[in-house]
Amino acid sequence: MEKSNNSPFEGWGLGKLERPLVIAGPCSAESEEQVVETATQLKTLGIEVFRAGIWKPRTRPNQFEGVGISGLEWMKRVQKEVGMKVSTEVGNVKHVYDSLRHGVDIIWIGARTSADPFAMQEIADALRGVDIPVLVKNPVNPDLNLWIGAIERIAAAGIRRVGAIHRGFSTYDTTRYRNIPQWQVPIELKQKMPEIPMICDPSHMGGKRELIQELSQKALDLNYDGLMIESHFYPAIAKSDSEQQITPSELGTILNNLIIRDPSNDNPLLMLTLEELRHKIDVCDEKLIKILNDRMTIAEIIGSYKKENKITILQSARWKEVVEKIVEKGKKYKLSEEMINTIFKAIHQESINRQTTIMNKS
Ligand code: PEP
Ligand code: MN
């Protein structure tokens, strides 16, 4: 991996300023040996920031809930003897105070906690006046404003160095991911808060080590600023998230395979070609809007007929037929069924809204 040197982490005191920032370490701190040995191996890869969960937010009771404060002593050895910055997750005020007392360099807020505004406010209040970098994971549910709100609470407490971690979103469905990425959510966050660095956590997103390479590459291609990857010196014996952890040496291979692309390029010819292609996209978008408008106008006319003849707006059989036909057509053009379904659900909803307005007009 050829790193590039424009980093949004300037002023974060993180050593070398290269993009991407890589944070790595085990899901949980389990033993002094595991922590120090894993960190030592990670350091040889040039990784500057170590992660380890000290308190683990487990879904069911009686699962391994972390080693607690003793783990913070092991983290001190990582700072002093290995020479890395250390980071851990805080989920309540006690975790904040314990971490600060033990000199943790960076704290992060987990996905279950960032979904809870009460917890977020208490943590933010506990951090008031403290100058520590804080990373806020996306909430478990894909609610952009909830994520923004969590970041705002931390920033409003006077924390200057705030970043976001995208780890994907829970779903009841079985998918190839443990947490579905929904890349549009962090992209929108980045548009609304461009100053917030964005880190991807492909470990919790994928839930299995085989997906880490492709998810990391995808994040970098979307211009993410960093990666947080779970790494354990012996993943098979890990007490949590064993299937998604990789050895430091496997992490080294993944990082070596990553291609770092820059958001812009000095080559004027290339930039011109890109400009032209973007212009073509703009033209397509114009056409799309015009066609959508034509379609809605027809839907309104249909609405008037339905009103005059007292028939219902929703005709499920007709709608099912429309979607099936369009999905089939889409396949011919290699348009994914998922996209066609999303777009046409939205179009259908808008048509229904328009027709409802017409029906209710006196
Ligand atoms: C973790 O980072 O170990 C963790 C518990 O992550 P998340 O909050 O994303 O589930
Ligand atoms: Mn984990």
Taking Cα atoms as reference points, which of 163, 153, 152 lies closest to residue 186?
163
276, 135: one domain: no
224, 293: one domain: no
The closest ligand to the CA of 88 turns out to be 1
238, 328: one domain: no
The preferred substitution site among 28, 87, 90, 137 for testing ligand 1, maximizing ligand atoms within 8 Å of CB, is 137
Kindly report the protein residue whose alpha carbon is nearest to atom 4 of ligand 1: 110
Is the shortest distance between the CB of 239 and ligand 1 below 6 Å? no
Distance CA 360, CA 102 (A): 64
The closest ligand to the CA of 243 turns out to be 2
Give the tokens for residue 143.
């609610």
* Residue 351 CA, ligand 2 centroid: distance in Å: 44
What is the 3-state secondary structure of 81-143?
Answer: HHCCEEEEEECCHHHHHHHHHCCCCEEEECHHHHCCHHHHHHHHHHHCCCCCCEEEECCCCCC
Last residue of a domain, one of 225, 257, 289: 257
127, 243: one domain: yes
Specify the residue for token string 């943790």. Answer: 104
Q: What is the mean pLDDT of the chain?
A: 94
Q: Which helix (H) or strand (E) holds 49?
A: strand 49-51
42, 158: one domain: yes
313, 191: one domain: no
Q: Are strands 226-230 and 198-200 parallel, antiparallel or unpaired?
A: parallel
Give the tokens for residue 138.
């996306």
CA torsion, points 41, 43, 22, 124, in degrees to nearest 10?
100
pLDDT digits (tens, 9 = 90+) for 344-362: 999 999 999 999 999 888 7
Taking Cα atoms as reference points, which of 254, 253, 231 lies closest to residue 242?
231
CB 205 within 8 A of CB 177: yes
Taking Cα atoms as reference points, which of 229, 223, 166, 162 lies closest to residue 12?
162
10 belongs to a structural domain: no
3 belongs to a structural domain: no
- Integer-rounded Cα radius of gyration of the chain: 24
277 belongs to a structural domain: yes
106 belongs to a structural domain: yes
pLDDT tops 80 at residue 2: no
- Atom number in ligand 1 closest to CA 167: 9
Is the shortest distance between the CB of 27 and ligand 1 below 6 Å? yes
- Atom number in ligand 1 closest to CA 112: 8
Q: Give me the number of domains the chain comprises.
A: 2
- Atom number in ligand 1 closest to CA 27: 3
Last residue of a domain, one of 257, 283, 309: 257
CATH code for the domain in which residue 149 is found = 3.20.20.70
* Residue 23 CA, ligand 1 centroid: distance in Å: 13
335, 231: one domain: no
* Residue 348 CA, ligand 1 centroid: distance in Å: 37
292 belongs to a structural domain: yes
Is the shortest distance between the CB of 66 and ligand 1 below 6 Å? no
pLDDT digits (tens, 9 = 90+) for 213-231: 999 999 999 999 999 999 9
CATH code for the domain in which residue 283 is found = 1.20.59.10
* Cα three-residue angle 20-57-84, rounded to 5 degrees: 35
Give the tokens for residue 297.
């106008």
Kindly report the protein residue whose alpha carbon is nearest to atom 10 of ligand 1: 111
Give the tokens for residue 10.
């300037």
- Atom number in ligand 1 closest to CA 110: 8
> In the chain, pLDDT over 90 holds for what percent of residues?
83
Q: Quick check: helix, strand or coil at residue 200? A: strand
Q: Quick check: helix, strand or coil at residue 21? A: strand
CB 221 within 8 A of CB 261: yes
222, 315: one domain: no
In 167-281, the DSSP E strands lie at: 198-200, 226-230
* Residue 245 CA, ligand 1 centroid: distance in Å: 13
* Cα three-residue angle 84-34-130, rounded to 5 degrees: 40
11 belongs to a structural domain: no
242, 286: one domain: no
Taking Cα atoms as reference points, which of 134, 128, 87, 82 lies closest to residue 113?
134
CB-based contacts of 27, cutoff 8 Å, min separation 6: 52, 53, 56, 203, 230, 232, 238, 240, 241, 244, 245
In this predicted structure, what is the pLDDT of residue 60?
A: 92
In this predicted structure, what is the pLDDT of residue 17?
A: 67
Domain boundaries, position 198: 21-257
pTM: 0.83
* Residue 10 CA, ligand 1 centroid: distance in Å: 25
> In the chain, pLDDT over 70 holds for what percent of residues?
98
13 belongs to a structural domain: no
DSSP state of 235: G
pLDDT digits (tens, 9 = 90+) for 306-318: 899 988 877 788 8
pLDDT digits (tens, 9 = 90+) for 82-106: 999 999 999 999 999 999 999 999 9
Handedness of CA 288, 291, 296, 302 (dihedral sign): negative
In this predicted structure, what is the pLDDT of residue 266?
A: 84
Give the tokens for residue 282.
């703009």
- Atom number in ligand 1 closest to CA 53: 3
Specify the residue for token string 């839930």. Answer: 207
Q: Quick check: helix, strand or coil at residue 296? A: helix
The closest ligand to the CA of 241 turns out to be 2
* Residue 28 CA, ligand 2 centroid: distance in Å: 7
Kindly report the protein residue whose alpha carbon is nearest to atom 6 of ligand 1: 110
246, 354: one domain: no
pLDDT tops 90 at residue 262: no
Residue 4 binned pLDDT confidence (cut-offs 50, 70, 90): low
114, 210: one domain: yes
193, 89: one domain: yes
CB-based contacts of 353, cutoff 8 Å, min separation 6: none
pLDDT digits (tens, 9 = 90+) for 139-172: 999 999 999 999 999 999 999 999 999 999 999 9
* Residue 110 CA, ligand 1 centroid: distance in Å: 5
Last residue of a domain, one of 234, 257, 280: 257
149 belongs to a structural domain: yes
* Residue 239 CA, ligand 2 centroid: distance in Å: 10
Residue 263 binned pLDDT confidence (cut-offs 50, 70, 90): confident
In this predicted structure, what is the pLDDT of residue 90?
A: 98
